[in-house]
Amino acid sequence: MCGVAFLYQPAYTADQLTGAMRTALRHMAHRGPDDQGLWQNPPVAIGHRRLAIIDLGASRQPMHDSHGRFVLTYNGEVYNYKDLRRDLEQHWTFQTQGDTEVVLAGLATQGIGFLKKMEGMWAIALWDRTNRTLLLARDRMGKKPLYYQVLRDGIACASELPALSSLARSGWEEDLDSTADYLRYGAYLPGTTAYRDVREVLPGHVLQWDPSGMVRESAYWTLSLGGFSGSLDSARTELREKLVRAVQRRLVADVEVGAFLSGGIDSSLVVGILSNELSVQPKTFTIGFTDPAYDERQYANIVATRYRTDHYEETLSDWDSELLKKLILEHVGQPFADSSLLPTSFLARLASRHVKVALSGDGGDELFSGYQRYQGRALLRWYTRLPKIVRLNVERLIQRIPEPMAHHSRSLLKKAHLFYDVIKRQEAEQPYVAPTFYSNPFFAKLAPELAGRGHPPPRLPPETHEDSLLEMMAADALVYLPQDILVKVDRATMAYSLEARAPFLDRDVVELAFSLPRPWHRRGTRGKRMLRGAFADLLPRSVWQRRKQGFGVPIHQWFRDRLGNELEELLSTTISPLSTPHVRDMLHAHRLKARDHGYRLWGLYVYLLWKKRLPPAPQS
């Protein structure tokens, strides 16, 4: 894995170009500690930080073709590069053994269409010196980040926002529409960032730019739903074959590959496939918690023992405010509301001491209907058939009972309160975009200055319009996954120079999962039916039957103590569009254990951390 940067800036001297690029690369040293490369031909500078995984002694970047026309900087891995190379050899004389030159050769000889043949993860910047055009591209699911800013006379792009800021060298201002999105959904919408005029290349898209100011973005891949014509048994067989092949593809490396092992179904399946199907006994890694409500080590140890992995674990007992500030301000570069960023970073740190690559179970919940919120939506269909007076009494009862300060998977009362939130979303008649949701009345109290603000939510495939569960799965795959889960995994792992690979997000697995009839994924309150049917033999009964448990941290406890005090201080010292009295009321109710506002307060806390660092906007 690596970090990439590109700058076209005619206003800079050669020395200024070099200085800006070196600063950007310094910001991304964690993404590639093994090598640094810089190519320059004013007004263009191209940079690269390398984490060497394949063809360790060669494949340096930026890489150019033998004629010097195309210059490539690329972050990612193309797992089928050897097959692609064989097809390209009749038109290209290869000088290296890695995947980088395959990407260069394919794009140089076949153009954008070559992206459709690639399987893996990538963020690409390709400069065509002859036509003076820049091509930017991201992988289908958005595993690898790529941000850009169109400048007055040029363009800048980079893998991370702090690096991009050093290239643009202009004061960035908060985008209040994006802030409204963040406060409403707990994440920024695809293509947007926290900053005005700073964008992110969309997953599955290419962006073309030239010095005339032309910017054209188009999709080379879109998610299709439905269309599977086989039987349930044939689907299970095909799923097993494709997921095993996906895991096998992600073993392509010239360094050791390990695996994260949370004890949940998805990461346990990856380890089971490695051992049972591919005869690999990997190093596995788990983070535990002193709070038993969050600790999954029992199940991780069951799987590790069954498959005789070389297992490592650590215990997280408290939160680390300095680490959080570093992750948000120096790596993510904008507010990030998912508190599991912290344990994920500890897990990455543990794994990085032993391997350079780790497989993860990311994507299993989105593709195979694993989240508990899908259970809530399924129950809603039954609930709406009840007489209105019964429903009103149920909702009044839920509101009167204090919300438990318990991990959501272990408490029926907690589930009742979460179900109430689902009801409110349904009554608001607003489309599902992301799991975090503030109804319009609540949002109006939280941030009255942002009334009417926000970007239009992304369009989902039309097939989802008649199936609310399918709508949730598609939105989670196309919004929540790239804007939350994959951001978290990329920044947490790259902070420790570790490459994470997600077999569930293999193109063949993704396309198969969404081609299947939705009822095959979930029956009543039980999800992941396809995984249970296809891989029943790989995991012990205790893992299959355990309750779903997210990779969370006890933030509800932290906000009743030191973290709550820090939030109060931030509210007092930071100018923001938030209603300070309303946030204080939320914190007060939380401390009294009347409502569990932990995850909401966390998002606000992180926003204020970032906002305090942001220079004030110029007065008009």
Transcribe 159-195 into DSSP letters: SSHHHHHHHH-S---B-HHHHHHHHHHSSPPTT--SB
Instruction: State whether 165 and 136 are in the same domain.
Output: yes
Residue predicted with more confidence, 384 or 222: 222
Per cent of the chain over pLDDT 70 is 93
Q: With beta carbons less than 8 A apart as the criterion, state whether 256 and 356 touch.
A: yes
Residue predicted with more confidence, 402 or 496: 496
Residue predicted with more confidence, 615 or 249: 249
How does pLDDT run across 300-311, given as a tens digit for each residue? 999 999 999 999
For helices 486-494 and 341-352, angle between their N-to-C axes, nearest 10 degrees? 40
Lowest mean pLDDT among 101-115, 201-215, 389-403, 493-507: 389-403
Instruction: State whether 522 and 569 are in the same domain.
Output: no
| pLDDT above 60 (res 207) | yes
Sign of the torsion formed by the C-alpha atoms of 539, 541, 546 and 548: positive
Instruction: State whether 392 and 541 are in the same domain.
Output: no
Looking at 410, 434, 458, which one is the last position of a domain?
434
Lowest mean pLDDT among 263-267, 431-435, 459-463: 431-435
Q: Would you call 2 a catalytic residue per the annotation?
A: yes
Q: What is the pLDDT of residue 58?
A: 87
Q: What is the pLDDT of residue 620?
A: 44
Q: What is the pLDDT of residue 169?
A: 81
Report the 10 Å Cβ neighbour count for 584.
14
CATH number of the domain within which 326 lies: 3.40.50.620
Query: DSSP E strands: which ranges in 248-295?
Result: 257-260, 283-289
Looking at 219, 244, 271, which one is the last position of a domain?
219
Report the 10 Å Cβ neighbour count for 517.
11
Residue whose C-alpha is closest to residue 142's, from 195, 203, 84: 203
C-alpha angle 553-574-617 in degrees, rounded to nearest 5? 120
| pLDDT above 80 (res 385) | no
| pLDDT above 70 (res 403) | no
Residue 539's contacts (CB-CB under 8 Å, 6 or more residues apart) are 265, 268, 269, 272, 303
| pLDDT above 60 (res 429) | no
Residue predicted with more confidence, 93 or 391: 93
Domain count, the chain: 4
CA distances to 32, 48, 201, 487, 619 from 72, rounded to whole Å, are 16, 9, 17, 24, 41
Distance from C-alpha of 144 to C-alpha of 161, rounded to nearest angstrom = 13
- In a domain, residue 448? The reply is no
401 is in an annotated binding site: no
Of the candidates 2, 450, 475, 510, the residue annotated as catalytic is 2
| pLDDT above 50 (res 134) | yes
Lowest mean pLDDT among 77-81, 124-128, 132-136, 615-619: 615-619
Instruction: State whether 365 and 382 are in the same domain.
Output: no
Report the 10 Å Cβ neighbour count for 331.
23
279 is in an annotated binding site: no
Instruction: State whether 21 and 98 are in the same domain.
Output: yes
- In a domain, residue 574? The reply is yes
CA distances to 210, 321, 605, 610 from 558, rounded to whole Å, are 50, 11, 12, 19
| 308, HSE (Cβ side, Cα atoms, 13 Å) | 5
- In a domain, residue 332? The reply is yes
Report the first-to-last Cα separation within the chain, whole angstroms.
42
Q: Hey, which residues does 73 pair with through a beta bridge?
A: 125
Distance from C-alpha of 61 to C-alpha of 71, rounded to nearest angstrom = 9
How does pLDDT run across 525-566, given as a tens digit for each residue? 788 999 999 999 999 999 998 876 666 678 888 898 889 999
Q: What residues make up the domain containing 604?
A: 554-620
Residue position matching structure tokens 């983070």: 287
Mean per-residue pLDDT for 424-429? 60
Instruction: State whether 212 and 357 are in the same domain.
Output: no
Residue 318's contacts (CB-CB under 8 Å, 6 or more residues apart) are none
C-alpha angle 72-77-78 in degrees, rounded to nearest 5? 90
> If DSSP states are collapsed to H, E and C, what string results for 316-369?
ECCCCHHHHHHHHHHHHCCCCCCCCHHHHHHHHHHHHCCCCEEECCCCHHHHHC
- In a domain, residue 458? The reply is no
CATH number of the domain within which 105 lies: 3.60.20.10
Instruction: State whether 186 and 169 are in the same domain.
Output: yes
Mean per-residue pLDDT for 118-127? 98
Q: What is the pLDDT of residue 386?
A: 75
Q: Where are the alpha helices (DSSP H) in 384-502?
A: 388-400, 412-428, 440-446, 468-475, 486-494
- In a domain, residue 205? The reply is yes
Burial class (CB in 10 A: 0-12, 13-18, 19+), 607: buried
Mean per-residue pLDDT for 355-383? 87
Instruction: State whether 304 and 262 are in the same domain.
Output: yes
- In a domain, residue 501? The reply is yes
Q: What is the pLDDT of residue 438?
A: 73
Transcribe 97-141 into DSSP letters: SSHHHHHHHHHHHHGGGGGGG--EEEEEEEEETTTTEEEEEE-TT
C-alpha angle 607-608-612 in degrees, rounded to nearest 5? 125
Lowest mean pLDDT among 39-53, 382-396, 600-614: 382-396
360 is in an annotated binding site: yes
| pLDDT above 90 (res 344) | yes
Instruction: State whether 254 and 325 are in the same domain.
Output: yes
- Identity (one letter) of the amino acid at 72? L
Instruction: State whether 199 and 255 are in the same domain.
Output: no
Mean per-residue pLDDT for 248-259? 96
Mean per-residue pLDDT for 128-147? 98
| pLDDT above 80 (res 249) | yes
| pLDDT above 60 (res 270) | yes
How does pLDDT run across 489-499, given as a tens digit for each residue? 999 999 999 99
Mean per-residue pLDDT for 561-584? 95
Q: What is the pLDDT of residue 87?
A: 94
How does pLDDT run across 28-61, given as a tens digit for each residue? 999 999 999 999 999 999 999 999 998 888 889 9
Looking at 219, 240, 265, which one is the last position of a domain?
219
Mean per-residue pLDDT for 450-472? 89
- In a domain, residue 54? The reply is yes
The most confident of 145-149, 329-333, 441-445, by mean pLDDT: 145-149
How does pLDDT run across 585-603, given as a tens digit for each residue? 999 999 998 888 888 999 9
Instruction: State whether 10 and 52 are in the same domain.
Output: yes
Per cent of the chain over pLDDT 90 is 72
287 is in an annotated binding site: yes
- In a domain, residue 407? The reply is yes
pTM metric for this prediction: 0.94
| pLDDT above 80 (res 174) | yes
Transcribe 46-104 into DSSP letters: EEEEE---SSTTS--SSEE-TTS-EEEEEEEEETTHHHHHHHHTTT-----SSHHHHHH
Instruction: State whether 60 and 194 are in the same domain.
Output: yes
